[in-house]
């Protein structure tokens, strides 16, 4: 397993991240493509987890103010689920954030994924909201 990251939206890493997001969000969850690709693509750091040179999981990080960073677009392709790859990618990203002196991570997690995030130490804040027609909650974690 190897995890790579980039800000370069012309790189193979970014293209691999987009392929995973397209497969999971657009095809599996019916999120419109125009909502999946947004104005933050070039402002975020895109992470991809590879096994045997195959891209299996992705997420992106968007720096905010006051030491906060927002984790977005967390996805694992269907065939690789239940292998704890999402947890490994999240841990890697959290360690990266600590090294960069961020003090907390926030994310908008799908309601169905709340137990996954809670196991990793995230706490639900606020009320349920809809994003791309899918119920979400805001979650945060101090680093």
d(CA 75, CA 17) in angstroms, rounded, equals: 9
42-65 pLDDT per residue, tens: 999 999 999 999 999 999 999 998
Q: What is the pLDDT of residue 123?
A: 97
100-110 pLDDT per residue, tens: 999 999 999 99
| Domain boundary assignment for the chain | 2-142
d(CA 119, CA 19) in angstroms, rounded, equals: 27
Spell out the residues 6+ positions from residue 142 whose beta carbon is closer than 8 angstroms to its own. 103, 104
Q: What is the pLDDT of residue 58?
A: 98
pTM, two decimal places:
0.94
Nearest 5°: the CA angle 7, 12, 15 is 80
The tens-digit pLDDT sequence of the chain (143 residues) is: 999 999 999 999 999 999 999 999 999 999 998 889 999 999 999 999 999 999 999 999 999 988 999 999 999 999 999 999 999 999 999 999 999 999 999 999 999 999 999 999 999 999 999 998 999 999 999 99
Q: What is the pLDDT of residue 33?
A: 87
Record: fold of 2-142: Aminopeptidase (3.40.630)
Q: How would you label 21-56 residue by residue, b for 16+ Cβ within 10 Å and e otherwise? A: bbebbbeeeebeeeebeeeeeeebbbbbbbeeeebb
């Amino acid at each position: 397993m190897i995890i790579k990251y980039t800000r370069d939206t012309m790189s193979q890493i970014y293209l691999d991240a987009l392929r995973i997001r397209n497969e999971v969000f657009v095809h599996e969850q019916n999120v419109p493509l125009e909502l999946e690709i947004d104005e933050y693509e070039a402002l975020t750091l895109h992470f991809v987890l590879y096994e045997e040179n195959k891209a299996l999981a992705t997420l992106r990080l968007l720096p905010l103010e006051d030491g906060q960073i927002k984790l977005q677009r967390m996805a694992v392709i269907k065939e690789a689920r239940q292998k704890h790859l999402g947890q490994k990618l999240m841990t890697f990203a959290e360690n990266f954030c600590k090294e960069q002196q961020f003090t907390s991570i926030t994310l908008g997690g799908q309601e169905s994924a709340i137990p996954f995030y809670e196991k990793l130490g995230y706490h639900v804040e606020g009320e349920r909201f809809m994003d791309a027609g899918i119920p979400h909650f805001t979650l945060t974690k101090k680093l």
